[in-house]
Amino acid sequence: MLRYVGRRVAGLALVLLIVLTLVFFMLRAAPGGSAEAYLGMNPTPEKVAEVERRLGLDQPIWVQYGTFVGNLLTGDFGRSLFSDRPVIDIIAERLPVTLELSLIAFVFWVAVGLYVKGVLPSSGWVHFGDDPVENLRTVILPAFALGLGSGAIIARTLPASMIDIAQADYVSFARAMGMPERHILRRITARNAIIPTATVIGLTATPSRRRTASSRS
């Protein structure tokens, strides 16, 4: 058992090293560079040289790679180019939220998987004309999986649109005229927020129709 776990851990470490190596050299081969990204558009050559010297980018590529791997092994992930904070501190701030979401999602989907076993089929399809009830049972899970991503986009679009519209001048004018807040929300904010939301719904539905047509052909 320990030997199996050791092999798995070693394999994971090797894959991680390969991925990090590929990312390192791909970033170095990309147009521009870290110094230009840090300084913004049209930096002076003097500023670029100064940042490259501070970040060690003026060293030979194999020296940069050795420093990169050595820093990772010691837990030094460097500093963010955008906030100038240690990357390890930024990860530590966001790690609890990530772990909590991952754990809750894991528990949720395990519960769903155990619940639907024997209730909803995991594969197959029955024509609606042959058995309408069985047809619905076969399409519930794949339809839910396909619509989950688009549903998340729509769920973010509608509140964002309502927040933007609530700050518009005509909404402030309606409040100044003494219109009740519930009427403003229902008659002005909600109605106008539906327009960009309907656009997003149309954009997300169009690729689905194209994929369905291509798969049938």
Give 3-state DSSP helix, strand, coil % of the chain, rounded to 5: 75, 0, 20
SS (H, E, C) 125-194: CCCCCCCHHHHHHHHHHHHHHHHHHHHHHHHHHHHHHHHHHHCCHHHHHHHHCCCCHHHHHHHHHHHHHH
pLDDT in tens, 150-176: 788 888 888 888 888 888 888 888 888
- Residue 69 CA to residue 17 CA, distance in Å, equals 9
Closest C-alpha among 203, 195, 202 to residue 160: 195
Cβ(35)–Cβ(51) below 8 Å: yes
pLDDT at position 210, please? 45
pLDDT in tens, 105-135: 888 878 777 776 667 777 778 787 888 888 8
Look at residue 22 and tell me whether its pLDDT is greater than 60.
yes
pLDDT in tens, 70-84: 888 888 887 776 777
Q: Tell me the pLDDT band of 213, cut-offs 50, 70 and 90.
A: very low
- Residue 217 CA to residue 212 CA, distance in Å, equals 9
Q: Tell me the pLDDT band of 36, cut-offs 50, 70 and 90.
A: low
pLDDT in tens, 52-73: 787 777 788 888 888 888 888 8
Q: Provide the token pair at 156.
A: 């973010």
Q: Does the pTM exceed 0.75?
A: no
Residue 31 sits at the vertex; the CA angle it makes with 25 and 34, to the nearest 5 degrees, is: 70
